[in-house]
């Protein structure tokens, strides 16, 4: 039921809804999590399409709006595991095995995704950034970051940690993007992101906030996309 013009959208999920029997031993938070998974049309569609993660839809939907991924462009993906964004980016830029134009890094291992190369590392370590550039063989047209820290449940702490990752990704982008390049990153609204946003406004022609449909309504998660890097 894929919509050909909007590959990030698909048919109605009516009829899929499932009720989860309450297991007395199961904590209510895990009951809610499993219930969400069972009733989430994106989870089902992720499996059908063979995507490594549900996050693939977020990138598809952001790209439907801003159309920044195009054949021939090169991409660095920060926080790439398990690999949904690598799959979408490789398809969209037509990256092929042997001439990979998509390179990713994560603290965790990522399964092999044809058309991309991924390494294990922490992007806050400068050597890791250098490795990514060496593998790609040039500066990238696009740097994207879906990096997220493990959430603590404490809203302010989670916000500060995510903003730190946003700033780390932005520093890497400002040092390495090609002229007219694009920066896309996860961004929680909450106050501490203001400085990073003003840096983006200074160095890029356009900056937009976006909350793709695939990003859960109840989540504070959002994305920021900065287009037209001025160097
Ligand atoms: C939401 S997941 C990314 C999902 C991915 N975009 C996909 O489509 O499959 C966030 C990832 O960021 C990674 N991460 C967090 N901090 C990082 C860091 N400092 N360097 C590299 N990766 C990091 C985590 O290990 C985690 O796998």
Q: Is 84 in the pocket of ligand 1 (CB under 6 A)?
A: yes
C-alpha distances (whole Å) from 53 to each of 44, 102, 214, 227 are 11, 17, 11, 25
What are the domain boundaries of the chain? 1-50, 55-229
Catalytic residue numbers, as ranges: 186
Q: Is the CB of 175 under 6 A from ligand 1?
A: no
Classify strands 223-229 and 182-186 as parallel, antiparallel or unpaired. antiparallel
pLDDT in tens, the chain (231 residues): 345 456 777 654 433 344 445 555 555 656 655 656 667 889 999 999 999 999 999 999 999 999 999 999 999 999 999 999 999 999 999 999 999 999 999 999 999 999 999 999 999 999 999 999 999 999 999 999 999 988 787 878 888 889 999 999 999 999 999 999 999 999 987 777 889 999 999 999 999 999 999 998 888 889 999 999 997
For domain 55-229, the CATH architecture is 3-Layer(aba) Sandwich (3.40)
| Smallest CA separation from ligand 1 atom 21, residue | 106
pTM above 0.85, yes or no: yes
What's the CA gap between 109 and 118, in Å, rounded?
Answer: 8
Q: Which atom of ligand 1 is nearest to the CA of 186?
A: 1
Ligand 1: centre distance to CA 143 (Å): 14
């Amino acid at each position: 039921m894929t919509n050909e013009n909007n590959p990030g959208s698909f048919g109605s999920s009516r009829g899929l809804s499932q009720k989860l029997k309450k297991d007395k031993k199961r904590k209510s938070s895990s009951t809610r999590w499993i219930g969400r998974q069972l009733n989430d049309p994106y989870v089902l569609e992720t499996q059908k399409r063979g995507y490594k993660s549900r996050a693939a839809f977020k990138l598809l939907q952001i790209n439907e709006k801003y159309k920044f991924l195009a054949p021939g462009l090169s991409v660095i993906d920060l926080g790439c595991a398990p690999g949904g964004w690598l799959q979408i980016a490789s398809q969209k830029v037509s990256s092929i095995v042997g001439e990979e134009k998509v390179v990713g890094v994560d603290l965790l291992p990522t399964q092999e995704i044809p058309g991309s190369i991924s390494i294990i590392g922490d992007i806050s370590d400068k050597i890791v950034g250098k490795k990514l550039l060496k593998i790609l063989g040039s500066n990238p047209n696009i740097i994207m970051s879906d990096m997220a820290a493990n959430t603590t449940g404490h809203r302010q702490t989670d916000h500060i940690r995510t903003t730190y990752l946003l700033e780390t990704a932005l520093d890497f982008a400002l040092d390495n993007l090609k002229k007219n390049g694009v920066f896309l990153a996860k961004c929680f609204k909450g106050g501490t992101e203001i400085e990073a946003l003003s840096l983006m406004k200074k160095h890029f022609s356009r900056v937009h906030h976006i909350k793709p449909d695939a990003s859960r309504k109840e989540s504070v998660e959002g994305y920021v996309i900065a287009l037209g890097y001025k160097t």
